[in-house]
Amino acid sequence: MTFFRTATEVAAGLRRGTLSSRDLTERLFARIDASEVNAVVATRRDFALQAASKADATTGGPLHGVPMTIKDAFAVAGMATTWGEPAFAEAVADRDAAVVERLQAAGAIVVGKSNVHHLLADFGRTSNPVYGRTLNPRDHARTPGGSSGGAAAALAAGLSFLEYGSDLAGSIRIPAAYCGVYGLKPTPGTVPLRGFQPPGPPAEPAREFPSTVGPLARSAADLRLALTVTGGPGTPSRRSRLADFRVGVVLDDPACPVAGEVGEALSDAVDALVRAGVRVAEGWPDGVDPVVQAEAFGFQVEWFFAAMEGGEPAGADEQERRRATLGAAWARYFADVDVFLCPTVFTTAPRHDDRHRYDDQVFWVAQASLPGLPAVSAPLAGTLPVGLQVAAPAHEDDTAITFAELAADVLGGFVPPAE
């Protein structure tokens, strides 16, 4: 079970000398080569093995010697940044993205890249003309989600010890839910975006959008570690004991009803939290209409892509006022509530279907995305995993992470797929 250890556990073993970075990296490459899920699609073996040998002979930061992969949308010096687009297949980066620099400064060894959906344009699947389709390690007939599907699948399959992805419309949280791992959408602006772009001159949006980059992992503690080294320590969690948390809950909504197995898993999870002493208040925050919020978020996503082309859609000013009003409603709500729980997505991983765009799956992730809340997708075990979304106040990412970490003691956490 070595390949399913958390990054935190591996880092501790490397510090104690009970694990060898070189041996671990060699065996990880062998596992990648034998895998059928097509999650890790490009590697840099000589670099990684040399770095691992050096790590075994030295000491360093909190991720010293830990092999990991990163989404093929980040620049990694000496590797192509394809975004799944054939025109970028030979676009070799000459500089690391800010996230890569910070992970490597903490001692991590970026051994390769994970697959993405073509141009990151789908949150429900991961497939592109350069590297093909990624499969869900839980069931190869099902999608791992997108666009960070390769990242989530790599972790679930034991092909990486840590991952970094991106999330505009759920591209971290939805794959994390489908593959049964943890994924964090940080508060926008927490982690720098430099080097996260298609090859070419940097595009500078005229305003802040809810697009973020963040970690995926096999534990909430790993999310904290990765966020700390890439974005800074941030605001400490409001609570340190599970029973002290004040929790808001919405598990279903007529606008996007959850599937039976999802509702059952979420309901059982809330019941277990109540038995553990968590105080629960049901219902949407005053002033928040989830349908209006989802529609407003859809406009923001359209605006984001229009801005990349130098445009601005009609009605932008009114939409900004709407976003500000909803953000204020959430801020009032979090004066009395520490975290808000809801589904990450209303279904388990669907079967592969290239005719379907999965657009209906963004409803639940939009509830945290529009107001710019940090949100963790935490796995609930079942025949197929279910994602529990934990949202916290803006800039209080560690409150969401800590709740997910403590909740794992009563809800369970990552479970390796059957092999």
For helices 98-105 and 220-231, give the axis angle rounded to 10 degrees: 110
Q: Write the CA distances from 284 to 21, 60, 278, integer angstroms.
A: 47, 46, 18
**ω into 147 cis (within 30 of 0):** yes
Greatest Cα-to-Cα distance within the chain, rounded to the nearest angstrom: 60
The amino acid that residue 21 corresponds to is: S
User: How many Å apart are CA 73 and CA 179, to the nearest integer?
Assistant: 20
Measured in whole angstroms, the distance separating CA 290 from the mean position of its chain's CA atoms is 22
β-strand pairing of 109-114 with 127-128 = unpaired
Rg from Cα positions in the chain: 20
**Three-class secondary structure of residue 377 per DSSP:** strand
At 375, which amino acid appears? A
Residue listed under structure tokens 């556990």: 9
Token pair belonging to 337: 């509530």
* Residue count (the chain): 419
Please calculate the CA angle 286-292-298 and round it to the nearest 5 degrees: 135
Q: Which amino acid is at 378?
A: A
Looking at this protein, which amino acid is placed at residue 231? G
Residue positions annotated with a catalytic role: 71, 147, 171
Question: What distance in Å separates the CA atoms of residue 64 and residue 52, rounded to the nearest whole number?
Answer: 9
Q: Quick one: which of 270, 242, 286 has its CA closest to 399?
A: 242
Closest among 328, 351, 370 to 145, alpha carbons compared = 351
**Tokens 């989600």 belong to residue:** 145
256: tokens are: 């996007």
Alpha carbon 172 to its chain centroid, in Å, reads 3
Strands 109-114 and 40-43: antiparallel
Could you give the CA distance from residue 211 to residue 419 in angstroms, rounded to a whole number? 35
